[in-house]
Amino acid sequence: MKSKNRTGLLIVYTGDGKGKTTAALGAVFRALGHGWKVAIIQFVKGDWPITCGEEESAKKFSKNGQLLFVQKGAGFVGIMGDKKPRAVHIGAAKKALKFAESIIRDPSYDLVVLDEINGAVELGLLEIPEVLKTLSGRPEPNSIIVTGRNAAPEIIQIADLVTEMREIKHPFRKRKIPAQFGIDF
Ligand code: ATP
Ligand code: MG
Protein backbone atom coordinates (compact mmCIF):
# COMPACT_ATOMS: atom_id res chain seq x y z
CA MET A 1 0.00 0.00 0.00
CA LYS A 2 1.29 3.40 -0.87
CA SER A 3 -0.35 5.71 1.62
CA LYS A 4 -0.89 9.21 0.29
CA ASN A 5 -0.28 10.59 3.76
CA ARG A 6 3.24 9.37 4.19
CA THR A 7 6.14 11.67 4.90
CA GLY A 8 9.49 11.12 3.24
CA LEU A 9 12.47 10.81 5.57
CA LEU A 10 16.21 11.09 5.35
CA ILE A 11 17.48 8.31 7.59
CA VAL A 12 21.06 7.77 8.75
CA TYR A 13 22.44 4.55 10.23
CA THR A 14 25.92 5.20 11.55
CA GLY A 15 28.26 4.19 14.38
CA ASP A 16 30.96 1.60 15.00
CA GLY A 17 28.67 -1.33 15.84
CA LYS A 18 27.37 -3.92 13.44
CA GLY A 19 23.91 -3.49 11.98
CA LYS A 20 23.90 -0.44 9.71
CA THR A 21 23.55 -2.19 6.37
CA THR A 22 21.42 -4.88 8.01
CA ALA A 23 18.99 -2.23 9.27
CA ALA A 24 18.78 -0.67 5.81
CA LEU A 25 18.13 -4.07 4.24
CA GLY A 26 15.44 -4.71 6.86
CA ALA A 27 13.72 -1.47 5.87
CA VAL A 28 13.95 -2.54 2.22
CA PHE A 29 12.35 -5.90 3.05
CA ARG A 30 9.50 -4.09 4.75
CA ALA A 31 9.06 -1.56 1.93
CA LEU A 32 9.01 -4.24 -0.77
CA GLY A 33 6.20 -5.97 1.10
CA HIS A 34 4.10 -2.85 0.61
CA GLY A 35 4.82 -2.76 -3.09
CA TRP A 36 7.27 0.14 -2.89
CA LYS A 37 9.84 0.58 -5.58
CA VAL A 38 13.30 0.47 -4.05
CA ALA A 39 16.90 1.08 -5.11
CA ILE A 40 19.99 -0.03 -3.21
CA ILE A 41 23.17 1.65 -4.39
CA GLN A 42 26.33 0.44 -2.72
CA PHE A 43 29.28 2.80 -2.54
CA VAL A 44 32.84 1.51 -2.01
CA LYS A 45 31.58 -2.08 -2.20
CA GLY A 46 32.12 -3.87 -5.51
CA ASP A 47 34.88 -5.80 -7.17
CA TRP A 48 34.67 -8.48 -4.49
CA PRO A 49 34.98 -12.16 -5.42
CA ILE A 50 32.15 -13.23 -3.09
CA THR A 51 28.53 -12.41 -3.83
CA CYS A 52 26.70 -11.00 -0.82
CA GLY A 53 23.42 -12.62 0.22
CA GLU A 54 21.61 -9.35 -0.39
CA GLU A 55 22.78 -9.38 -4.01
CA GLU A 56 21.36 -12.88 -4.49
CA SER A 57 18.07 -11.98 -2.80
CA ALA A 58 17.86 -8.80 -4.85
CA LYS A 59 17.90 -10.82 -8.07
CA LYS A 60 14.54 -12.30 -7.08
CA PHE A 61 12.90 -8.95 -6.44
CA SER A 62 14.58 -7.35 -9.45
CA LYS A 63 12.70 -9.55 -11.90
CA ASN A 64 9.56 -7.40 -11.85
CA GLY A 65 11.50 -4.14 -11.69
CA GLN A 66 10.53 -3.48 -8.07
CA LEU A 67 14.10 -3.49 -6.82
CA LEU A 68 17.28 -2.12 -8.32
CA PHE A 69 20.51 -3.30 -6.70
CA VAL A 70 23.83 -1.96 -7.89
CA GLN A 71 27.38 -1.98 -6.57
CA LYS A 72 29.17 1.09 -7.83
CA GLY A 73 32.35 1.03 -5.79
CA ALA A 74 35.83 -0.13 -6.74
CA GLY A 75 36.27 -2.20 -3.58
CA PHE A 76 38.40 -1.77 -0.47
CA VAL A 77 40.33 1.50 -0.39
CA GLY A 78 43.93 1.23 0.78
CA ILE A 79 43.33 -2.01 2.71
CA MET A 80 42.99 -5.75 2.00
CA GLY A 81 45.61 -5.65 -0.75
CA ASP A 82 44.06 -2.75 -2.66
CA LYS A 83 46.53 -1.46 -5.22
CA LYS A 84 44.21 0.68 -7.30
CA PRO A 85 45.22 4.29 -7.81
CA ARG A 86 43.18 6.65 -5.67
CA ALA A 87 41.83 8.25 -8.84
CA VAL A 88 40.07 4.97 -9.68
CA HIS A 89 38.25 4.99 -6.33
CA ILE A 90 37.37 8.66 -6.67
CA GLY A 91 36.08 8.08 -10.21
CA ALA A 92 33.91 5.17 -9.06
CA ALA A 93 32.51 7.16 -6.13
CA LYS A 94 31.68 10.16 -8.32
CA LYS A 95 29.98 7.92 -10.86
CA ALA A 96 28.01 6.26 -8.08
CA LEU A 97 26.90 9.62 -6.76
CA LYS A 98 25.81 10.80 -10.19
CA PHE A 99 23.85 7.61 -10.64
CA ALA A 100 22.33 7.98 -7.17
CA GLU A 101 21.27 11.51 -8.03
CA SER A 102 19.36 10.33 -11.10
CA ILE A 103 17.63 7.59 -9.13
CA ILE A 104 16.76 9.90 -6.23
CA ARG A 105 15.28 12.44 -8.63
CA ASP A 106 13.12 9.74 -10.20
CA PRO A 107 9.85 10.04 -8.27
CA SER A 108 8.98 6.39 -8.88
CA TYR A 109 11.60 5.23 -6.33
CA ASP A 110 9.85 5.26 -2.96
CA LEU A 111 13.01 4.31 -1.08
CA VAL A 112 16.66 4.70 -2.04
CA VAL A 113 19.46 3.20 0.06
CA LEU A 114 22.92 4.73 -0.31
CA ASP A 115 24.90 2.02 1.44
CA GLU A 116 28.33 3.02 2.77
CA ILE A 117 28.16 6.50 1.29
CA ASN A 118 29.43 7.78 4.66
CA GLY A 119 32.54 5.70 4.09
CA ALA A 120 33.08 7.28 0.68
CA VAL A 121 32.86 10.73 2.28
CA GLU A 122 35.15 9.79 5.16
CA LEU A 123 37.73 8.43 2.74
CA GLY A 124 37.64 11.74 0.90
CA LEU A 125 36.30 10.20 -2.31
CA LEU A 126 33.27 12.51 -2.26
CA GLU A 127 32.87 16.12 -1.18
CA ILE A 128 30.21 17.04 1.35
CA PRO A 129 28.50 19.73 -0.81
CA GLU A 130 27.94 17.33 -3.71
CA VAL A 131 26.50 14.72 -1.35
CA LEU A 132 24.18 17.25 0.28
CA LYS A 133 23.01 18.36 -3.17
CA THR A 134 22.23 14.77 -4.11
CA LEU A 135 20.33 14.13 -0.89
CA SER A 136 18.29 17.29 -1.32
CA GLY A 137 17.03 16.12 -4.72
CA ARG A 138 14.54 13.79 -3.01
CA PRO A 139 10.95 14.35 -4.15
CA GLU A 140 8.31 14.05 -1.43
CA PRO A 141 7.20 11.63 -0.10
CA ASN A 142 10.14 9.40 -0.97
CA SER A 143 12.75 8.35 1.57
CA ILE A 144 16.51 7.85 1.60
CA ILE A 145 18.64 5.76 3.93
CA VAL A 146 22.37 6.41 4.15
CA THR A 147 24.71 4.09 5.99
CA GLY A 148 28.31 3.93 7.15
CA ARG A 149 30.44 4.75 10.18
CA ASN A 150 31.26 8.34 11.05
CA ALA A 151 28.43 10.09 9.23
CA ALA A 152 29.43 13.68 8.46
CA PRO A 153 27.90 16.25 10.85
CA GLU A 154 26.45 18.09 7.84
CA ILE A 155 24.49 14.98 6.85
CA ILE A 156 23.35 14.36 10.42
CA GLN A 157 22.15 17.93 10.55
CA ILE A 158 19.78 17.63 7.58
CA ALA A 159 18.59 14.10 8.48
CA ASP A 160 15.19 13.36 10.02
CA LEU A 161 16.25 10.18 11.78
CA VAL A 162 19.72 9.23 12.95
CA THR A 163 20.56 6.01 14.75
CA GLU A 164 24.02 5.22 16.02
CA MET A 165 24.93 1.54 16.22
CA ARG A 166 27.31 1.30 19.16
CA GLU A 167 29.52 -1.71 19.60
CA ILE A 168 29.05 -3.44 22.92
CA LYS A 169 30.49 -6.76 21.82
CA HIS A 170 31.63 -8.03 18.45
CA PRO A 171 32.87 -11.60 17.85
CA PHE A 172 35.92 -10.26 16.02
CA ARG A 173 37.25 -8.20 18.90
CA LYS A 174 38.00 -10.88 21.50
CA ARG A 175 37.73 -14.13 19.61
CA LYS A 176 38.88 -12.91 16.19
CA ILE A 177 35.89 -14.63 14.58
CA PRO A 178 35.89 -13.41 10.96
CA ALA A 179 32.88 -12.18 8.99
CA GLN A 180 30.31 -14.96 8.79
CA PHE A 181 28.48 -16.15 5.67
CA GLY A 182 24.75 -15.45 5.97
CA ILE A 183 25.21 -13.09 8.92
CA ASP A 184 27.78 -10.59 7.70
CA PHE A 185 27.58 -10.98 3.93
P1 ATP B 1 26.29 -5.18 8.57
O2 ATP B 1 26.48 -5.14 7.07
O3 ATP B 1 26.62 -6.54 9.08
O4 ATP B 1 24.98 -4.64 9.03
P5 ATP B 1 27.54 -2.69 9.17
O6 ATP B 1 26.92 -2.18 7.93
O7 ATP B 1 27.06 -2.13 10.46
O8 ATP B 1 27.41 -4.27 9.21
P9 ATP B 1 30.13 -2.05 8.08
O10 ATP B 1 30.96 -0.96 8.64
O11 ATP B 1 29.46 -1.84 6.78
O12 ATP B 1 29.10 -2.52 9.20
O13 ATP B 1 31.06 -3.32 8.05
C14 ATP B 1 30.80 -4.42 7.28
C15 ATP B 1 31.45 -5.64 7.86
O16 ATP B 1 32.22 -5.37 9.03
C17 ATP B 1 30.43 -6.68 8.30
O18 ATP B 1 30.95 -7.93 8.00
C19 ATP B 1 30.32 -6.48 9.77
O20 ATP B 1 29.94 -7.64 10.49
C21 ATP B 1 31.71 -6.09 10.15
N22 ATP B 1 31.65 -5.25 11.34
C23 ATP B 1 30.71 -4.36 11.66
N24 ATP B 1 30.92 -3.80 12.86
C25 ATP B 1 32.07 -4.36 13.32
C26 ATP B 1 32.85 -4.21 14.51
N27 ATP B 1 32.47 -3.36 15.47
N28 ATP B 1 33.99 -4.95 14.61
C29 ATP B 1 34.37 -5.79 13.63
N30 ATP B 1 33.68 -5.98 12.50
C31 ATP B 1 32.55 -5.28 12.34
MG1 MG C 1 27.56 -1.65 6.08
- Closest C-alpha to 60, from 96, 20, 29, 34: 29
Give pLDDT, residue 45: 80
112 alpha carbon – ligand 2 mean position (Å): 15
Please work out, in degrees rounded to the nearest 5, the angle formed at the alpha carbon of residue 23 by the alpha carbons of 18 and 27: 175
Per-residue pLDDT tens digits for 70-90:
999 888 888 888 889 899 999
Give pLDDT, residue 3: 67
125 alpha carbon – ligand 2 mean position (Å): 17
- Omega prior to 141 cis, within 30 of 0: yes
- At a CB cut-off of 8 Å and minimum separation 6, what does 54 contact? 21, 25, 40, 69
Query: What domains does the chain contain, in order, with CATH numbers?
Result: 29-162 (3.40.50.300)
User: How far, rounded to the nearest angstrom, does the alpha carbon of residue 50 sit from its chain's CA centroid?
Assistant: 18
Give pLDDT, residue 74: 84
Question: Which residues sit with their C-beta closer than 6 Å to ligand 1?
Answer: 16-22, 116, 147, 149, 165, 167, 170, 172, 179, 184-185
